[in-house]
Amino acid sequence: MKRRFTTRTALVASTAVLAAAGVAAATTTASAAPEHRPSPASVDKHYAGKSSKSALPTKAEIARLFDRWNAALATGDAEKVAELYAPGAVLLPTVSPKMRANNTEIVDYFEHFLPNKPVGTKDRTSINVMDKDSAVDTGLYHFILTGKDGEKKRVDARYTFVYEKIKGKWLIINHHSSALPAAG
């Protein structure tokens, strides 16, 4: 237990350092139509039982957790998205300056973000499996957001998802997302 706490503490601290560095907004207009995404339940059902309880999860298994999260976004239901976060999880979101450190705050963020009909796509990823119950997925992704007028906008960002398997289910314990700074 001590190792997991130490790993979690170190990951949370490193994510906080990234957030403190500050970022500049990076948006462009995009015209791509949203892609079809499966429901979070169908993603979970499809991948259920794909790894042994005693074995380390594969990088592919951890990568699919993003698909589950992205499918939850597609539901438009902030509660469904928040269910993927562990109790006490921390969210440092892309389009809000406020740190979200409990379920109520995470739901509030997604209630304001989901009307933009976000469709996330990973552009580059690096996955580190820490042990059989914890992993980190970090990299670059972008969202296509749809405004009330139907105009689509691309938002490029960097991300870190820290996952922990709690009571047999992979949950997000820390999620940092920030707009990708302009090339410098």
Helix, strand, coil shares of the chain as percentages rounded to 5?
Answer: 35, 35, 30
Residue 133 amino acid letter: D
Q: What are the domain boundaries of the chain? A: 2-179
Segment 131-169, tens digit of pLDDT? 999 999 999 999 999 999 999 999 999 999 999 999 999
pLDDT for residue 53: 56
Average pLDDT of span 49-63: 78
CATH code of the region 2-179: 3.10.450.50
Q: What is the pLDDT of residues 31-55, one digit of tens each?
A: 333 344 455 554 455 444 444 456 9
Note whether 63 and 127 are within 8 A (CB).
Answer: yes
CA distance linking residue 43 with residue 69, whole number of Å: 9
Per-residue pLDDT for 6 more than 90?
A: no
Q: How confident is the model at residue 3 (pLDDT cuts 50, 70, 90)?
A: very low
Mean pLDDT of the chain: 80
Alpha carbons 177 and 162: distance in angstroms, whole number: 12
For 34, other C-beta atoms within 10 Å of its C-beta total 13
